[in-house]
Amino acid sequence: MKVGFIGLGVMGAPMAGHLVAAGHEVSVFNRSPDKAQAFVAAHGGRAGATVAEAAAGCEILALCVGNDDDVRAVATEALPALASGAAIVDHTTTSAKIAREMAALAGEGGRWFVDAPVSGGQAGAQKGTLTVMLGGDEAACNRIEPVISAYGKTIQRIGGSGAGQLAKMVNQICIAGTVQGLAEAVHFAKRSGIDADAVLAAISKGAAQSWQMENRWPTMAKGEFEFGFAVDWMRKDLGLVLDEARANGSTLALTALVDQFYADVQKLGGRRWDTSSLVKRLEG
């Protein structure tokens, strides 16, 4: 299929690369043109000078940009250039509100907008093993699934427009609490003077097991945070979660507390550290 991809950051570039490898005709755009040119040099495809140029004639256009305002700007520019009946697949983590707004706008022109946030981090994007949570029309979701399976191992439609973003919020709530618990566990183990690696070996296959434990305990214990999902991004996501919670009346005491703990990490200079750096604030 003729597929466009907007946003070639640490997630977007490998995702777009998988589309090329799957045999699709891929056009790309990035606000920094050098990244788009570097992508084409490495993978093939073509780079558009503008969003509209990259989107021209595309049957599917994937977005992986920054925030609600970016999605609105990109989608508004791209929609008129897309093929009739085309779908925008938005992998950005945004509010559910903007997803519904863009779905309505796309529908006015006979096109589709599917909110499709992902989980799995940079490693998942590189390996093509992301989890993708879809919100949107069922027919549109069925149409895009064979294409995004190039980088999505688990693809699940949650419901109508905005449902994918709400599912991602649930994901971030779970991660925030898990990482805080893990940070305290690592801190406690080190203060107790026991062998942190031996503790991990003992508990990682039992009831305490989690992806965060398996993948982040060793590096947390070593104080290594130069990889993965950045604290700044997590605070953006938790801000969306807390805004939605205020709107729907949810009580998220732990999530709000962990958000403030991440603010402490930012003050320590950890804006770009991995989210596992929560342990750093416990150690000073």
pLDDT per position as a tens digit, 143-190: 999 999 999 999 999 999 999 999 999 999 999 999 999 999 999 999
pLDDT per position as a tens digit, 238-266: 999 999 999 999 999 999 999 999 999 99
Mean pLDDT of 97-125: 97
Residue 227 has pLDDT above 90, yes or no: no
Residue 225 has pLDDT above 80, yes or no: yes
- Residue 10's pLDDT is what? 94
Catalytic residue among 168, 190, 205, 280: 168
Mark residue 248 as left, alpha or beta (left: phi above 0; alpha: psi -120 to 50; beta: remaining): alpha
pLDDT per position as a tens digit, 51-91: 999 999 999 999 999 999 999 999 999 999 999 999 999 99
- Residue 141's pLDDT is what? 98
Residue-range domains of the chain with CATH:
2-160 (3.40.50.720), 166-283 (1.10.1040.10)
Mean pLDDT of 10-30: 98
Burial 7-19 (b: 16+ CB within 10 A, else e): bbbebbbbbbbbb
- Residue 228's pLDDT is what? 79
In whole angstroms, what is the distance from residue 186 CA to residue 95 CA?
Answer: 33
At residue 74's C-alpha, the angle toward residues 61 and 54, to 5°, is 50
Q: Which two tokens stand for residue 179?
A: 């990482």
Examine the residue annotation and report whether 267 is marked as an active-site residue of this protein. no
